Amino acid sequence: MTRLVGLAMSLITLIAALVAFSPRPMPSFRPTRLDANELIVNGVAQAGARVVAVGEQGHILYSADDGSHWQEAELGKARGSTLNQVWFATPDVGVAVGHDGWIVRTTDGGRHWQEVAFDTKRSDPLLGVWGDGKVLFAYGSFGQLLKSDDGGVHWAAQPIDADERHLYGLAGQGDTRLLVGEQGTLLRSTDAGASWQKQAPFYAGSLFGALALGKGEWLVYGMRGHVFKSVDDGASWQPVALPIPVTLFGGAKLADGRVVLVGQGGSVLVSPDGVAPFAVLHAGGRQSLTAVLAGRDGSVYTAGETGIARDARLSAPVSPSASPRS
């Protein structure tokens, strides 16, 4: 009897081992999906028919249907460093920059990205990128300014007189470039970025962005609702009154001429042309907006702590003549 019990136990052990080590199909799990409304988005750009957004932990999303659905792009080497801004020189070629001096580049409109730079010795972040054709500029903490002459493949430091202050925004029109940053820093170039001149200070607080309005007109904006306008291509500046004193992080000129500024607490301010007074479209939220994009066909996207979404409040109304006939 004892021998039979021992044999039975041996068989049970053998069966358990066979089950444990035999090949089995993997259980079916729902595919992992990154929700565009749950990701902190720092930058957004148009890439031909696609909208591309970058943000926390190095995530890059793109939409090919005007923001209805989002997919995560493929990174050749995921670092996990936060990406702060993205810019497209052409519908296919784009560059994104972020912490640890990380720069990634795409040549297929944002679907696949490859690393072109990463600083293993310093963690100083790059905060933005902007360009015109093949000439691109990346800028960031402690007065960093990098320049690429080949569409973002290679980068070299460009010395400037920024007193090691953080640089937050860069924009251009014609041959003029404006670079703004900490403690009212504003550098101006009139030769397409070949050289830069520090402008006389007109505001002591940080400036977070510059916006080209066309015909030599500009806006710069920053802390506590401080906005300044230039009508002489950045040579002189006058304050613009805002109805609320909120810090502003992003701005855009829309296709219909409206100017939009976004920032603290989800604030959205709109002017018909950047000259007429700004009206408050939204304020008083808990989560901030970092960027606004004038997309194709009059669509507008806002991005920030609540992710990225097409903003129906800002999208241009469709002309009756453009409506499809039944």
Share of the chain above pLDDT 70, in %: 86
The confidence band for 292, taking pLDDT boundaries of 50, 70 and 90, is very high
Give me the domain span that covers residue 120: 36-159
Please say if the pLDDT value at position 20 is more than 80: no
Q: Please compute the mean of the pLDDT values over residues 267-282 and round it to a whole number.
A: 94
pLDDT at 33: 59
Residue 79 lies in a domain: yes
User: Cα separation of 264 and 206, whole Å?
Assistant: 14
> Which of residues 238 and 35 earns the better pLDDT score?
238
**Residue 317 pLDDT grade (very low, low, confident, very high; cuts 50, 70, 90):** low
The answer to whether 288 and 305 have CB atoms below 8 angstroms apart is yes
Give residue 110's Cα distance to chain centre: 13
The span from the CA of 147 to the CA of 270, in Å, is 33
Task: Say if 326 falls within a structural domain.
Answer: no
* Number of domains comprising the chain: 1
Q: Does 95 reside within a domain?
A: yes
What is the Cα–Cα distance from 23 to 16, expressed in whole angstroms?
Answer: 13
pLDDT at 22 over 50: no
pLDDT at residue 122, as a whole number: 80
Per-residue pLDDT averaged across 224-250, rounded?
97
Whether 130 is in a domain gets the answer yes
Residues whose CB falls within 8 Å of the CB of residue 285, separated by 6 or more in sequence, listed in order: 265, 266, 267
Six token digits for residue 230 = 């230039």
Q: What does DSSP say about strands 126-132 and 112-117: parallel, antiparallel, or unpaired?
A: unpaired
Domain for residue 71, yes or no? yes
92 occurs within a structural domain: yes
Cα end-to-end span (Å), the chain:
87
CA distance 259 to 273: 6
Residue 291 and residue 308: Cα distance in Å, rounded?
9
Residue 323 has pLDDT above 70, yes or no: no
Is pLDDT above 50 for 135? Answer: yes
- Phi/psi at 250 (5° precision): -145, 155
pLDDT band with cut points at 50, 70 and 90 for residue 30? very low
Q: Per-residue pLDDT for 215 more than 80?
A: yes
The C-alpha atoms of residue 37 and residue 67 are separated, in whole angstroms, by: 11
Tell me, yes or no, whether 109 lies in a domain: yes
Name the one residue in this structure whose structure tokens are 């920053």: 222
Q: What is the pLDDT of residue 142?
A: 97
pLDDT of residue 27: 38
In this prediction, residues 283-311 reach a mean pLDDT of 94
The mean predicted confidence, pLDDT, of the chain is 88
Does residue 273 fall inside a structural domain?
no
Strands 227-230 and 135-140: unpaired
15-24, 32-41, 240-249: lowest mean pLDDT where? 15-24
At 38 the pLDDT is 80
Tokens of 265: 């607490």
Q: How far apart are CA 140 and CA 102, in angstroms?
A: 11
Residue 69: φ, ψ to 5°: -140, 145
Return the CATH number at 143. 2.130.10.10
Rounded to whole angstroms, the Cα distance separating 93 from 36 reads 23
**Which pLDDT score, from 0 to 100, does residue 17 have?**
34
